Chain A
Amino acid sequence: MSTQEERERLELLQGTLDLLILRTLIFGAQHGQGIARAIQQTSDDELLVEHGALYPALQRLEERGWISAKWGISSNNRKARFYSLTASGRKQLGKETTKWKRLTAAIGRILESEGG
């Protein structure tokens, strides 16, 4: 595991954490640790997610009504707070995804034109 810690990973861009959380929850309810783990795994450990930073984001999303939370029991019988996507959260995810794609495409074009 120590090798993983030492590997240089990408820091998240401002504002992308919300998008990643919403995206992760599309597969069903998940607790905080599960969300952090999923983001890391899905990105092939490329992204650095400080677990602690996840919570203010979750808090924010919950307040906006995009996700809802309730306490439940994890697969290994531990108490955990499970988050799930709400209808408005789902809509928001669609919007954010489109925005993100347009942004990365635009940035990609600029970088390519410069590089080429």
Chain B
Amino acid sequence: MFRRKRKASDFSSEMEAHIQLETDRLREQGVSEREARAAARRAFGNVTQAQERFYESGRWLFWDDLGQDLRFAFRMLHKSPGFAAVAVVTLAVAIGANAVVFSALDAFVLRPLNVPQSESLYGLQFGGGHRGALSYPNYVDFRDRNRSFDGLATYQMTRVGLGTGNNSTRAWLYEVSGNYFDVLKLQPYLGGFFHSSDEHGAGSAPYIVLSYAYWHGHFQDDPGVVGRRAEVNKKPYTIIGVAPPEFRGTFLLLSPDFFVPMVSIEDEEALNRRAGWWIFETIGHLKAGVTPAEAAADLSAIGDYLQNTYPKDVGKMNVSLDHAGLYGDTFGRPIRGFVAALMLLAGLILLAACANLGSLFAARAADRSREVALRLALGAGRLRILRQLFTEALVISLTGGAVGIVGGMLLLRRLIAWNPFPQFPTNVPLNPDANVYAVAALLAFVSGILFGAVPVRQVLDTDPYEIVKSGSVTKLGRRLTFREMLVALQIAICALLVTSSMVAVRGLVRSLDSDFGFEPKGVMLADTDLAMAGYPDDAVPAMQERMIEQMQAIPGVTAVGLANCPPLAGCGASRASIFADETADLRPSNVAASTMMYQVSPEFFVAAGTPLLAGRALTWHDDKNAPRVAVINETFARKLFGSQTNALGRYYKTWNGTRVQVVGIVRDGKYANLTEEPQAAMFMPLLQSPSSQTYLVIRSDSNPQQLSGAIRSRLRDLDSGLPAFIQTWPKEMDFFLFGARMATVALGVLGALGAILSITGIFGMAAYSVSRRLRELGIRMALGAEWKEVLGAALGRALKLLAFGSTAGLLLGILASRVLASIVYQATPRDPLVLSGVVLAMALLGLVATWIPAQRALSIDPARLLREE
């Protein structure tokens, strides 16, 4: 096993020396040179035998054999480069896919956050619709009253205008509690962090900590940035430090450009209001020895205390903990589910590849049965021959694995650089680490062993005398069944993937055309926030009216609406609790419904294309001096008033007790995502509930490129310090289709891989079957068989397998579509197009795979064949 202690050449020279010495001795006794040498050799005995015994006495035989096996394996593979290439590519694809998917698993599930001791870092979830969100006073109570955490930090993602020098850009920040960096146990890369001791009420601690990426990208790694002034929404701040490079915030899906203390940016009212849930997530490290369950009980007790103390403002909280990074079940569950499903599929692909290669290997072993028989007859051990086969399998699998890893890493590098949503700095750390390489190497090794093992029985059962004598291997024919099962299995897997991807594609296409309750096509959204440009609240409505006027003046524009945040846009609309008009006690347990809340201009419904079903739309006369009114949707009307007709003119109360009259009813729509159930929504007039967050909804006939240019220039004319983001509404909706798109693309890719594998599998089997039965087919043809009969005999089994596997896969695919429906809106297998598409695809696949073997079978020349055999 280990290093050879002594070289064979050393041993040979010792033997030569021996013979020389003996010859010398004999010469001294007077014997002639020739005779002396002969005698010395005689006395020595069998030189070769001595050498062989020396050779075998060593423990290095294993490595020697391995070297021999490797050389032989390379020679054999070199002789059949086609086979080697197919095998290597097949495996490379399968292992590359696994490496990529495993990287995602690694990034999202195995090591979610890149902070010290991330395993004890938990995020709080409060149950109900509010997920992890809290109000600031509630956060402070949780922070100060709990006994389970080494500090609790909280953060909220906000988009702001960041001014450095004289230009203003939009940037994402985390507004965080003062203890944020200390709770996360982070050290600054440059400068310093702020701490809880810096917080002295609203407006204090105007400090900025830049993320490393933002510093690198916008400040060109300038260390002089520390101490520089900057403006956040026109308020003066000081940059005090840069966060470490590997830290990208505590929510994987959104990495901030910089961090500021929450107290510095929020006003008195926000920091003191106990009702509401506006802070995104609260996180902390569990104290040593405290289990998540104990901590959750501790926090729930605090929740109960808050509910009892502030019954008007605080509802029931069922606190649970989840590892920080993916915001609990909200994002964690679908992402984990998706990645797990991908991993499963990638595993199936690899299994299919192994099955395929196994059958190719078996076919090869059978083709080589003469060679194997010859080696057996010459006295080679069966074990030695098996070792040779395994060596070949491993050479292929490890080469394939290496190619796959390299390919996978190239793909990953592109994925990391890819930012699907330009307005969000998503930054998923898909960095391959040692785990990924180890897993890929392990997979390569295991698959080598797996498919290398397929022909084992074949070799063990080889009867050298029979084969060498007759030259035929008809006896092996029966043994094909196992291989056939493997091929059938991968056809089924392929059909499953093809079905799922077609269902997904159809679902996606349908969801693009479906009824959203508004018409996104032909609408441009211009998204800005007047607070970013430093407008005081009372100046906002006038500015917004001017913006609308300016947009209406653009040629080709048919309608302009304005909303704080339109449905299905990346801004994340607010929700509000409402009460029935009769309710006097506005405690959380008396809430009548939780609804989506939009603040809109009168023309919003026209611009968005939302049909008004009853009553009137809002007008510019619904202002501060007029009675409070709202337009609601069908679900709202049904939930609160029983029916549409009932709802018109009726009143309800908002969270602070204001009575609002229903003046109009609009069609239900999709609001937060595409797969949601119908939910209640209300639209408040902009002048009665103003918002500095501004989305201009601009419907027009002109082309988007031109329009966005015109919009931009007019906005600049209005206020050059107002950063805006302009894109079409369908593009904005990509955010909600992202999951579905990813699922579709992934399934499509996997389906294509599956198809490639199935084609090679069927091809291998069919080709094998034809070459095995050449003689029989030749005889049949000589006896006058029709081409149909010949093809039936040659390919019948392959085609039967194809039909059987496809059917099984299709059925499985239909079952799997239920799972898919949760990711892709309107995914259903009950679709004639999907069913016929799958059948057609599988038939095509069969045709492609059997084409060459069929040609070969039909071109048999019986006379020549019989002569040769």
Segment of B41-49, B547-555, B751-759, B856-864 engaged in the interface with chain A: B41-49
- In the complex, whether B22 has a CB less than 8 A from a CB of chain A is yes
Q: Are B18 and A31 in contact (CB under 8 A)?
A: yes
Interface size on A, residues (CB 8 A): 23
Q: Are A52 and B20 in contact (CB under 8 A)?
A: no
Chain B residue contacts of A50, Cβ below 8 A:
43-45
- In the complex, whether A109 has a CB less than 8 A from a CB of chain B is no
Q: Are B18 and A33 in contact (CB under 8 A)?
A: yes
Q: Are B18 and A1 in contact (CB under 8 A)?
A: no
Cβ contacts B840-853/A at 8 Å (1 or 0 each): 00000000000000
Minimum CB–CB distance for B311 against chain A, Å: 88
Q: Are A51 and B43 in contact (CB under 8 A)?
A: yes
Segment of B9-17, B777-785, B829-837 engaged in the interface with chain A: B9-17
- In the complex, whether A74 has a CB less than 8 A from a CB of chain B is yes
Could you say which of A37, A55, A74 contacts B14, with CB atoms under 8 Å apart?
A: A55
Q: Are B17 and A78 in contact (CB under 8 A)?
A: yes
Chain A residue contacts of B6, Cβ below 8 A:
59
Could you say which of B17, B29, B57 contacts A31, with CB atoms under 8 Å apart?
A: B17
Q: Are A51 and B18 in contact (CB under 8 A)?
A: yes
Cβ contacts B1-38/A at 8 Å (1 or 0 each): 00001100001011101101110111001010000000
Q: Are B22 and A55 in contact (CB under 8 A)?
A: no
Q: Are B26 and A55 in contact (CB under 8 A)?
A: no
- In the complex, whether A81 has a CB less than 8 A from a CB of chain B is yes
Given contacts A32-B14, A51-B44, contact A78 B57 (CB under 8 A): no
- In the complex, whether A80 has a CB less than 8 A from a CB of chain B is yes
- In the complex, whether A60 has a CB less than 8 A from a CB of chain B is yes
Cα of A115 to Cα of B702 in the assembled complex, Å: 128
Minimum CB–CB distance for B8 against chain A, Å: 12
- In the complex, whether A56 has a CB less than 8 A from a CB of chain B is yes
Q: Are A78 and B44 in contact (CB under 8 A)?
A: no
Q: Chain B interface secondary structure, helix, strand, loop or mixed?
A: helix
Minimum CB–CB distance for B48 against chain A, Å: 9
Given contacts A51-B43, A52-B45, contact A59 B21 (CB under 8 A): no
Q: Are A53 and B39 in contact (CB under 8 A)?
A: no
Cα of A55 to Cα of B39 in the assembled complex, Å: 18
Q: Are A53 and B17 in contact (CB under 8 A)?
A: no
Which residue of the partner chain A has the closest CB to B27?
A76
Cβ contacts A63-89/B at 8 Å (1 or 0 each): 100000000001010111100000000
Q: Are B24 and A55 in contact (CB under 8 A)?
A: no
Cα of A66 to Cα of B298 in the assembled complex, Å: 73
- In the complex, whether B219 has a CB less than 8 A from a CB of chain A is no
Chain A residue contacts of B613, Cβ below 8 A:
none
Q: Which of B42, B47, B50 neighbours the largest number of chain A CB atoms within 10 Å of its CB?
A: B50
Chain A residue contacts of B79, Cβ below 8 A:
none
Q: Are A78 and B46 in contact (CB under 8 A)?
A: no
Q: Are A32 and B18 in contact (CB under 8 A)?
A: yes
Cα of A76 to Cα of B49 in the assembled complex, Å: 28
Chain A residue contacts of B22, Cβ below 8 A:
33, 51
Given contacts A1-B39, A60-B57, contact A55 B15 (CB under 8 A): yes
Cα of A31 to Cα of B6 in the assembled complex, Å: 17
Cα of A51 to Cα of B350 in the assembled complex, Å: 59
Chain A residue contacts of B46, Cβ below 8 A:
52
Minimum CB–CB distance for A79 against chain B, Å: 6
Q: Are A51 and B45 in contact (CB under 8 A)?
A: yes
Q: Are A56 and B54 in contact (CB under 8 A)?
A: yes
Cα of A5 to Cα of B35 in the assembled complex, Å: 14
Q: What's the A-B contact tally at a CB cutoff of 8 Å?
A: 69
Given contacts A55-B14, A81-B17, contact A76 B45 (CB under 8 A): no
Q: Chain A interface secondary structure, helix, strand, loop or mixed?
A: helix
Cβ contacts A1-15/B at 8 Å (1 or 0 each): 100010000000000
Which residue of the partner chain A has the closest CB to B48?
A52
Cα of A53 to Cα of B14 in the assembled complex, Å: 13
Minimum CB–CB distance for A86 against chain B, Å: 16
Q: Are B45 and A55 in contact (CB under 8 A)?
A: no
- In the complex, whether B867 has a CB less than 8 A from a CB of chain A is no
Chain B residue contacts of A56, Cβ below 8 A:
50, 53-54, 57
Chain A residue contacts of B26, Cβ below 8 A:
1
8 Å CB interface, B264-323 against A = none
Given contacts A1-B31, A55-B15, contact A63 B5 (CB under 8 A): yes
Chain B residue contacts of A81, Cβ below 8 A:
14, 17
Given contacts A37-B25, A59-B54, A63-B5, contact A52 B17 (CB under 8 A): no
Chain B residue contacts of A33, Cβ below 8 A:
17-18, 21-22, 25
Cα of A32 to Cα of B10 in the assembled complex, Å: 14
Chain A residue contacts of B14, Cβ below 8 A:
32, 55, 80-81
Cα of A101 to Cα of B496 in the assembled complex, Å: 81
Cα of A52 to Cα of B48 in the assembled complex, Å: 9
Cα of A52 to Cα of B144 in the assembled complex, Å: 89
Cα of A104 to Cα of B49 in the assembled complex, Å: 31
Chain B residue contacts of A60, Cβ below 8 A:
57
Which residue of the partner chain A has the closest CB to B35?
A1
Chain A residue contacts of B50, Cβ below 8 A:
52-53, 55-56
Which residue of the partner chain B has the closest CB to A34?
B21
Which residue of the partner chain B has the closest CB to A40?
B43
Which residue of the partner chain B has the closest CB to A35?
B18
Cα of A33 to Cα of B43 in the assembled complex, Å: 10
Cα of A111 to Cα of B39 in the assembled complex, Å: 38
Cα of A32 to Cα of B50 in the assembled complex, Å: 13
Q: Are B24 and A78 in contact (CB under 8 A)?
A: yes
Q: Which of A1, A55, A78 neighbours the largest number of chain B CB atoms within 10 Å of its CB?
A: A55
Q: List the 6 closest A-B pairs by CB distance, nearest first.
A: A52-B45, A33-B21, A50-B45, A52-B50, A51-B44, A56-B53
In the complex, besides A1-B39, A63-B57, 16 extra interface pairs with C-beta distance below 8 angstroms are A1-B29, A1-B31, A32-B17, A33-B18, A52-B47, A52-B50, A55-B15, A56-B50, A56-B53, A56-B57, A59-B57, A74-B21, A76-B21, A79-B13, A79-B17, A81-B17
Q: Which residues of A contact B (CB under 8 A)?
A: 1, 5, 31-34, 36-37, 50-53, 55-56, 59-60, 63, 74, 76, 78-81
A-B contact pairs, 12 of them (CB 8 A): A1-B26, A32-B18, A33-B21, A33-B22, A37-B25, A53-B45, A74-B21, A78-B20, A79-B13, A80-B14, A80-B17, A81-B17
